[in-house]
Amino acid sequence: MKNPRKSENAKKLLDIIQRQQAKNRSGASHPDTKPVPRKIVPSKMPCIEDTKRQLEHIASDGALLQRVDPLPSPDLGAEAVLSKRLLAGTRLINETSRDAGLLGRLRGNRDRPPLDLVVGFDLGSTSSKVVLRFPYEEGLGSYAIPAPKCIQADGVAYYWRSVLWQDDLGRYSLVPSVGAQAHDQIKVDFMSVSNSEARKAKNWFTRQALVAYQALMIRQALGWVSQKLGKALDRHEIRVGANFGFPAKSYTKSDVFDDYEKCCQASVYLALGSDPITNESVQGALALEPWEAYSNQPPVTVVPEFIGAVLGFFMSNRRRTGQFILADIGGLTVDCVCFGYSEPRDGDPKLLIYAADVQKYGAEIGRVYAHDKQTSRAFSNAIGSFVCGPIIESHKKVGHNAPAWDGRMPMFLIGGGRHFGPFGPAFSWAQDSLKNSKFRTTFDVVDLKLDEEVDLSEARGKGCGRLLVALGLSHSDLDLPEWITPDELPDAPPAPHRDPDGGYIGPEQV
Amino acid sequence: MAEIQTGDFVRQIGKKTNAGRVLEIRDRGGRKTIKIQFPNGSRKLPMDTVELVPDEADTPSELLSQGQLSGHKDFKQRIAHVRLSGNMSDVFYSMEATDTDFYAHQFKPVVKMLDSPSGNLLIADEVGLGKTIEAGLIWTELAARFKYNRLLVICPKVLCDKWRRELQNKFDVPAQIYDAKGLLELMKSPYSQRAGFAAVCGYQGIRPRPKEKRTGRPVDQLTEVLEEAQGSDKLVDLLVIDEAHHMRNRGTQTNELGSIATGVSQHTAMLSATPINLHNRDLHSLLRLVDDMTFRDETALEQIIRANVPLVAARDGLLSNKPFDEVDDLILRASRTPILRNAKSLPRLRRELLDKGAELRPSDRARIAAGLEKVNLLSNAINRTRRRDVEEFRVVRHVHAYRSVMTSQERDVYDRVTKAILDYADENDLPVGFLTVMPQRMLASSLPAALSHWRKAEAAFDCEDEDEDEDEDVPDEEETDRRPLARELGRVSSGLPDPKVLERQDTKFAEFLRAIREQLQSKPNQKIVVFSTFRSTLKYLERRLHENSIPTLLLYGATKDRGDVQARFEDDLEIPILLASEVGSEGIDLQFAQTVVNYDLPWNPMRVEQRIGRIDRLGQTAEAISVLNLLHENTVDDRIYSRLHDRLGLCKTALGGFEEILGREIKKLTTDLLSGKLTESEQDRRIADTEQAIQNQRQHEEELEREASSLIAHGDYVLGAIRDSRESKNWITENDIVDYIEFALGALHPGSEVRWLPEKSLVDISMTSDARHQYESWCTAMQVQAGSLARNASAVSFRVGKGEKRSRHPRLSPAHPLMRYLAGAVQEKDVLPPNAAAIQIGSSDCPSLKPGIYAGAVQCWVFGEGASSLSLAYGLVDCSTGELFGPDIAESIVSCCIASGSRWHSAVAEIDGEKTSELVDDDLGTDLDLRFHDEKDRRVGQIEDRIAIQLSALEHRSEERARIIEKQILNSPAGLVAANRTRLRNHLERTEQRRLEIKGQSVDDASYSDVSAFVLKVLP
């Protein structure tokens, strides 16, 4: 039965939200300013389910989440920088022999050994990151690619705003030009359409935008690395591979996943060609079938995002086996994955995804909702409850005997939103809540450090923690552990039924 | 090219330092891949990115030419690995590894101990400079370098507990106090000898008894075990003898103890505040214990002193910019002295000097001066630091005298008791001495307390005089002599006014109370230490202060837990006063107090100095301290105070070490003044004579000390080198330790966990079961204790750094078995082969270099197998001009790179690998080669000199001994000839054995290996 008072609170909140929406639509509030904090003072703290509902509502209404950063104006300097990079990138790849089924390039005399180069691509809702790595070359290392200032996200050199511009002639660009139209919901739009029919519709624009954006990003990144290392790359054959991140929750053979995989292949195909990236070339790339033509060459892999984040850890000397939890707190979403890592003596390392969940409980949504002590607490509790979900769900995969139920579970916290205050208490809440149940697990927060050896000189002291995923994804596909999704993972045998009489010593022995 | 097969040893073509064994070859998605087992785990790679490992590995310069440049992290790990090996000559393993503050002078003995030819050292620092800490630092250093684990401290019994506490609290050494039986067990038990120990023993309990008196008691058995092991077995790694001056008299049991204990110890540190007078026999007898061979007799010492004169003059000449030919002349003179005739270092230093000639630069002068200092045989046997040499001593002493006027009744009592004592002495024909002086001093201390004590007729006096406790020659009979005097004093005092009456008019106490209240009013939270020699006075003061609502603590010889009293006094803000006797407070550090009150004044100024030294010592944070002296006006005390203490400023400035002279003069004066036979003017004259005598003697001793100082040259050069070392961070930081453990455990045993909590100075380590097993096996093989880490699956906490001094966790130092295990395993598995690195650094972090591109090389030089056998050598060249930098600059640049550098990512694109590699190979390589051979000559010269001196001493002694035995053979009856011949044969065998031991120190194998080459970009 519903609690009438809770419903009343929810109504009040909805009312305020609707009023705010109306106000925004009427233009009373400038679209470039932060949303005005709403004072919601429920007489009693809302229950977790109510809070979750309200958070979902805030997330579903775009008007409530006003863009904080305005879109940039045309910038000739940035345009010139990127044009040069794209040109260098095209020059670097202009000898690609696509017909021979090679996804890579041949250059010069090829009298030096081939170089493998991996692109790690982390497409975010608001910011994207790209890291290039030569995984087998001591002297070349890994490079996070910096963005021109006007399209940097949060003022960090290596965070690219996930925005694409298209001019009247159908040409795509990463920087604005006069009259160009901006697409700033590339990922959100792509992920939100689950209808397979709509997805398959010819020329569905969102796919094109995604492919164009990724292709441009990869090509300019290759150009940047060519500018930076020119001499060192001379006379080498370069084999390019790419890894793209994908939310773990959706990482099953779904339409969205299949479509994304195809888009990624098209992006790489396009990036490694010399054609300008236009509506036409993108459509051409998307129309190419079958993909097998070049799929056996340095691969294009779609990897659960969280693996990118933790790959550095599991490739480092700090790695250990066991059960882990990871929470990726973004601006809009919070991803939570409970997974295991094992290194069998006679096999390859494995990453077992026990359970994963993603919800739109990100920091920006939290900021709208949690504006006072009480709502902050309610928000923390809701997040805590959300975090408990995958842990509890993992029980059926790992069984009742898993060591983590009685001990420490390493917890990785990543994402730009994790510094938002109410997230802190959420994990204590989750831990206490677990302790009250049959789990005696304690969280052991483990720092995920950026590889000290990656060049971050342009960050000028600013934290670049959100590069973790791209950095991890830039490892060679051979370094990626084999991952097994919850669907592929069998359930653990149930706990044996306790027979209270089994241990009974008969009356004759008493 | 041969095809790669499973089981082959291969390496990455693009990262040639990464090699491993092939586990599997297979097709993956159309690509041929290969799975390789690297030291830190397995990895899959494309087949065409690996090759078979060639017979000869690529050198760092070859890697440089191929552009295989790693980053700053790898470079740092390689340097850390060599530094943590524990054998680096230029790293202080004891620096920052203990819970002590840094004072450069305290590392001087560490340097000298490592340079000491005999491995032994006499530390003769003045009081209050932290000799205990110096000994602890020596132990920490030796334990890290030599992997030692057997420490024995011999000290006066009263100091045993202090040593135990200091070793535990400051050096994390779990020392225990042992008696003769316990020590015997440690010496005999193979387990203790293997597992190690830290033992503290009092002199008194373990002194050997003469052979004829031995009855098989533990002490006799211990003596026999030690005697048996002489020369052949080393049962102790470091022997520390505190208050070593107790051993100065040859023929005494304590001296014999020193002799047999040093004979079974690898290293000996003798601590004593003895002033250094080279013409003093006591010094010689201590030096003989330090180095029996070099200082075999006084003639040898004389020879060394004579040889040192031109040597020290040459050193001073170099440092004071004297012309090189003048210095050369002095070195030539030194090399002609008999003792240094065969010294190989001197001709080498001369050659170096003459090569440079007039172009001698300050750095050359300093280097040659350091070389001369090492030839100096005295400087490596004695360490002497005086308070005036230590910058940190800047505390001013404000001295005040509080004089009270006795009431007529007090005066009457004072006179009557004095008379009774003198009459008693007269009647019983007793000389004026300890027996008669003490009751008079007790009376001067506190009339009511003394009378009350005598009325109980327990003893004549209840003083806590150091002489009484420590001197082994105090006859036991004296105690029996005291009893009749005690009875007499009891009889006399019963005829005097009641102590309660005297207490009510106690003018001295009233003055004392006023002084105390003034002090507490001016500085309310300060701590005051009140001294008296007499227990009765201390107890009287305790009661009276309590009645006046002033809380106190009491500390005297019988106090059981002195550490606890000290801690309570320091921590409890409600307790402003500590009542102490000098014996009770011996070895207790009270530098948090700022006022000393002498309720009675020992006439021997050294005793007063000891009292003041409790608070005027290292660690005193106040700029000034107060010394308050309480006196009865117009008494002998008053006259002595005014004429001696006050006029000679004995309380104002710290006394160097004139205990002996002052003690002698004061003893004579006391006897005269208290004989009761001198008139007041005669007394004054006598005091004036003493004042003059002390003044003269003091001047004379100071001159001798100056002379000794210059001859021993225990000087600034070593201190400067220590300070430089500190500035260049030539020590192992907590960061180094944690980084290394993280890297090494991860590389060798992935899955182990290292968690550093810098705010708590703790590091939690948990190891995988495989790691625990291997670590435990290693510990068993090395005969060291693995501790809880090998047993515990969960995390074990260790202390690193300086925080949490009272933490109970063991300290993780370079000497810890875990560090030794990891360093050995990393070496064995070749986890860190030589590499090439590309580093960049901002010019603000590296001010000595202009922006530009540089190339450098780091080599590891190995000379023999000793504890200081390794050194890292650095070279640096400017890539644009080809200019070579000196070793010091190169070293400091490498330090900067380690501290503030980062990977230079575009180095491969910006440098010409082949040209840079040529620079490293040709220019730097040649420079490093020359320097290596120079260093080798220097070390070989130094060690050969040491060997030559030791051999010559051995031959001399052996011949002498052989002559004596031969003479005995000639003169002995027929029945004893065979026995004496056996003695001679044994003697010759032992000599031969020792000869081989001495020769074994020589540097036979000197080699160098590459650690890393690097290119460095200094950013504008």
User: How far does the CA of residue B900 sit from the closest CA of chain A (Å)?
Assistant: 13
CA–CA separation, B423 and B492 (whole Å) = 12
* CA-derived radius of gyration, chain A: 25
Check residue B811 and give its pLDDT.
Answer: 81
Interface touch A232/B49, C-beta < 8 Å? no
Check residue B136 and give its pLDDT.
Answer: 93
**pLDDT of A495 over the 50 cut:** yes
Cβ neighbours of B905 in A, within 8 Å: 141, 143, 228, 455, 457
Cβ neighbours of A460 in B, within 8 Å: none
ipTM of this predicted complex? 0.80
CA–CA separation, B230 and B216 (whole Å) = 19
Helix (H, G, I), strand (E, B) or coil at A300: strand
Cβ neighbours of A348 in B, within 8 Å: 35, 44
Instruction: Label residue A109 by pLDDT band (50, 70, 90).
Output: very low
Check residue B472 and give its pLDDT.
Answer: 38
Instruction: Label residue B479 by pLDDT band (50, 70, 90).
Output: very low
Mean pLDDT of B667-693: 77
Instruction: Label residue A129 by pLDDT band (50, 70, 90).
Output: very high
CB count within 10 Å of CB B207 equals 18
Cβ neighbours of A230 in B, within 8 Å: 909
CA–CA separation, B287 and B298 (whole Å) = 10
β-pair partners for B875: B857
CA–CA separation, B59 and B79 (whole Å) = 17
pLDDT in tens, A159-212: 999 999 998 888 899 998 888 888 888 888 888 776 666 666 645 678 889 999
CA–CA separation, B338 and B303 (whole Å) = 8
CA–CA separation, B751 and A321 (whole Å) = 7
Interface touch A479/B16, C-beta < 8 Å? no
**pLDDT of B519 over the 70 cut:** yes
Q: What is the mean pLDDT of chain A?
A: 77
Interface touch B45/A478, C-beta < 8 Å? yes
Cβ neighbours of B750 in A, within 8 Å: 317, 319-320, 343
Indicate the residue of A136, A228, A457 with minimum beta-carbon distance to B909.
Answer: A228
Least confident of A217-231, B699-713, B838-852: B699-713
CA–CA separation, B846 and B776 (whole Å) = 44
Q: State the DSSP code for A240.
A: E
Indicate the residue of B16, B73, B742 with minimum beta-carbon distance to A453.
Answer: B73
Check residue B805 and give its pLDDT.
Answer: 56
pLDDT in tens, A307-333: 888 888 888 777 888 889 898 888 778
Interface touch A316/B16, C-beta < 8 Å? no
**Which residues, other chains included, contact A454 with Cβ-Cβ below 8 Å and sequence gap of 6+?**
A131, A141, A142, A143, A144, A467, A471
Which of A317, A457, A471 to probe the B interface (max B CBs under 10 A)?
Answer: A317
Instruction: Label residue B748 by pLDDT band (50, 70, 90).
Output: confident
Task: Please tell me if residue B698 touches chain A, with a CB cutoff of 8 Å.
Answer: no
Mean pLDDT of B274-290: 71
Element (H, E) at B871: strand B870-878
> Under a CB-based contact definition with an 8 Å cutoff, are residues B451 and B494 in contact?
no
Least confident of A84-88, B128-132, B238-242, B482-486: B482-486
Using alpha carbons, select from A197, A210, A190, A302 the residue that is nearest to residue A252: A302
Instruction: Label residue B126 by pLDDT band (50, 70, 90).
Output: confident
Check residue B55 and give its pLDDT.
Answer: 82
Mean pLDDT of A254-278: 85
**Which residues, other chains included, contact B766 with Cβ-Cβ below 8 Å and sequence gap of 6+?**
B752, B753, B792, B793, B794, B795, B796
Which of A138, A323, A444, A471 to probe the B interface (max B CBs under 10 A)?
Answer: A138
Least confident of A315-319, B95-99, B640-644: B95-99
What percent of chain B has pLDDT above 70?
87
CA–CA separation, B216 and B208 (whole Å) = 12
Interface touch B44/A230, C-beta < 8 Å? no
What angle is formed at CA A234 by the lines to CA A232 and CA A236, rounded to 5 degrees?
Answer: 105
Edge-to-edge strand ranges of the sheet holding B176-177 = B176-177, B197-202, B150-155, B236-241, B265-271, B120-123, B382-383
**pLDDT of B1015 over the 90 cut:** yes
Mean pLDDT of B524-545: 90
- Strands A300-304 and A238-246 turn out to be parallel
Mean pLDDT of B340-365: 80
Check residue A248 and give its pLDDT.
Answer: 66
Check residue A172 and give its pLDDT.
Answer: 92
User: How far does the CA of residue B722 sit from the closest CA of chain A (Å)?
Assistant: 33
Check residue B576 and give its pLDDT.
Answer: 92
User: How far does the CA of residue B836 sit from the closest CA of chain A (Å)?
Assistant: 9
Indicate the residue of A455, A478, A479 with minimum beta-carbon distance to B905.
Answer: A455
Check residue B125 and give its pLDDT.
Answer: 82
**pLDDT of A361 over the 50 cut:** yes
Check residue A294 and give its pLDDT.
Answer: 53
Indicate the residue of B43, B751, B753 with minimum beta-carbon distance to A479.
Answer: B43
- Strands A238-246 and A104-105 turn out to be antiparallel
Instruction: Label residue B187 by pLDDT band (50, 70, 90).
Output: very high
Check residue A377 and give its pLDDT.
Answer: 86
Indicate the residue of B44, B753, B906 with minimum beta-carbon distance to A228.
Answer: B906
Better pLDDT: B789 or B717 = B789
Check residue B858 and give its pLDDT.
Answer: 93
Interface touch A229/B16, C-beta < 8 Å? no
Check residue A17 and give its pLDDT.
Answer: 52
Interface touch A232/B69, C-beta < 8 Å? no
pLDDT in tens, B208-234: 988 888 888 899 999 988 887 775 567
Q: What is the mean pLDDT of chain B?
A: 81
Cβ neighbours of B67 in A, within 8 Å: 139, 232
CA–CA separation, A38 and A20 (whole Å) = 9
Interface touch A453/B907, C-beta < 8 Å? no
Instruction: Label residue B275 by pLDDT band (50, 70, 90).
Output: low
Size of interface A-B (CB pairs under 8 A): 108
Residues 735-774 of B with CB under 8 A from A: 742-743, 745-747, 750-754
Interface touch B71/A452, C-beta < 8 Å? yes
Q: State the DSSP code for B920.
A: I
> Under a CB-based contact definition with an 8 Å cutoff, are residues B629 and B599 in contact?
no
> Under a CB-based contact definition with an 8 Å cutoff, are residues B941 and B352 in contact?
no
> Under a CB-based contact definition with an 8 Å cutoff, are residues B578 and B516 in contact?
no
Check residue A37 and give its pLDDT.
Answer: 41
Check residue A144 and give its pLDDT.
Answer: 93
Mean pLDDT of B986-995: 79
Indicate the residue of B71, B746, B906 with minimum beta-carbon distance to A318.
Answer: B746
Indicate the residue of A114, A231, A455 with minimum beta-carbon distance to B909.
Answer: A231
Interface touch B15/A452, C-beta < 8 Å? no
Mean pLDDT of B991-1014: 81
Task: Please tell me if residue B70 touches chain A, with a CB cutoff of 8 Å.
Answer: yes
User: How far does the CA of residue A310 sit from the closest CA of chain B (Å)?
Assistant: 15
Task: Please tell me if residue B49 touches chain A, with a CB cutoff of 8 Å.
Answer: yes
Scored b (16 or more CB within 10 A) or e, A108-130 reads eeeeeebbbbbbbbbbbbbbbbb
Cβ neighbours of B838 in A, within 8 Å: 139
User: How far does the CA of residue B14 sit from the closest CA of chain A (Å)?
Assistant: 4
Interface touch A136/B49, C-beta < 8 Å? yes
Interface touch A320/B30, C-beta < 8 Å? no
Indicate the residue of A136, A228, A230 with minimum beta-carbon distance to B12.
Answer: A136
User: What secondary structure, in 3-state letters, does A401-460 show?
Assistant: CCHHHHCEEEEEEECHHHHCCCHHHHHHHHHHHHHHCCCCCEEEEECCCCCCCCECHHHC
Least confident of A64-68, B331-335, B511-515, B753-757: A64-68
Check residue A104 and give its pLDDT.
Answer: 45
Give CA A240 to chain center in angstroms: 22
**pLDDT of B466 over the 60 cut:** no
β-pair partners for A325: A338, A411
Indicate the residue of B45, B49, B743 with minimum beta-carbon distance to A317.
Answer: B743
